[in-house]
Amino acid sequence: MTGRTIFCALISMMTCATIGYGQTDRDVLRDGLTLEGVDGQLVCRDNNSVYFFKPDTDISDDRAVIKARTAIEILPSVALEKMAAVKNENASAGFRIWGRVTSYKGENYIFVIHFLQTAALDTEKAESASVRLVEDANDTLKLPKEILEKMQSRKIIQPIQLTKGFEMEQDYILVDRTGFIRSDPNGGSVFVFDCLGRNLENISIALMPCYTLQSCKSEQQGELEEIRFKVSGIVTRYKDGFYLLLQRANRVYSYGNFTR
């Protein structure tokens, strides 16, 4: 084997390894990762049509890390609509969120289930409340700079949000509904309910990006006819529209009992 042949073989192996285990894989968190009380900021673009969450700290699982201050797109939800309203009223508001991470075509998204509004601790007030060692007014001990910096990084939960959080509308669980996954004119995906046996027109709901959706679409690409899926997931509402986040989807075989 010549040196040129060996070189070409090595390049080929490196290319295959890059395709199968690209660097982007190390930056993509696994689908379904739970977020519990993550602090960060809400940012928007395109005239408030797309929102992102910038975490204050790194988010990681057992294989990947998203660095702090990295913008992660937030999926539509009841919680997002409430967060946007808070942000409009108070541009400096921070948020502590609970939810889950989804993964779709090498990108991560966040589905927010619950949130609390936060605010940075006022360091000037913290310093003015320094500890007194003796009763003499001139004998005060100022807090060290390191302690003040740690206090500054802490977040305060806004009391008003503790009550408003219980007034939020609820998401709903969709269980074992049969239908088809199709593309919409805007490049997204929808789940069309199977109304077989009912005198109803096709009813559809927008699907949010996640690994389950990606798997279903990959399976559909290898088939000549539409695949019927039985799905379960979370139904949420955002700006008068309904969205479905798939949790589970199984192929349903008709065995010739259903017409297409």
Distance CA 111, CA 98 (A): 9
Single residue among 168, 196, 220 that ends a domain in this structure: 168
Which of 139, 168, 197 is the last residue in one of the domains?
A: 168
**pLDDT above 70 as % of the chain:** 66
Top pLDDT among 156 and 27 is at 27
Lowest mean pLDDT among 100-114, 149-163, 208-222, 225-239: 149-163
Q: What is the pLDDT of residue 255?
A: 56
**What local confidence, expressed as pLDDT, does residue 159 receive?**
46
User: What span, in angstroms and rounded, lies between the C-alpha atoms of 152 and 122?
Assistant: 7
Among the listed ranges 7-21, 89-103, 183-197, which one has the minimum average pLDDT value?
7-21
pLDDT at 16: 38
Q: Is the pLDDT of residue 144 over 90?
A: no
Q: Would the pLDDT of 136 be above 50?
A: no
pTM: 0.73
Q: What is the mean pLDDT of the chain?
A: 78
Query: End-to-end CA distance of the chain, in Å?
Result: 56
Q: Are residues 160 and 60 in the same domain?
A: yes
In a domain, 5, yes or no: no
Q: Which of 127-131, 132-136, 183-187, 220-224 has the lowest mean pLDDT?
A: 132-136
Q: How many helices (H) and strands (E) does the chain have?
A: 6, 15
Residue carrying structure tokens 């997931």 = 233
Residue 193 has pLDDT above 60, yes or no: yes
The verdict on 128 and 35 lying in the same domain is yes
H-run or E-run covering 177: strand 172-183
State the average pLDDT over residues 187-210. 82
Does 161 score more than 60 pLDDT? no
Same domain, 125 and 203: no
Does one domain contain both 47 and 135? yes
* Residue 101 predicted with pLDDT over 50: yes
* Amino acid 149: pLDDT: 58
Report if residue 15 sits inside a domain: no
Over residues 80-107, mean pLDDT: 95
Domain hosting residue 228, numbered range: 172-252
What is the Cα–Cα distance from 43 to 34, expressed in whole angstroms? 21
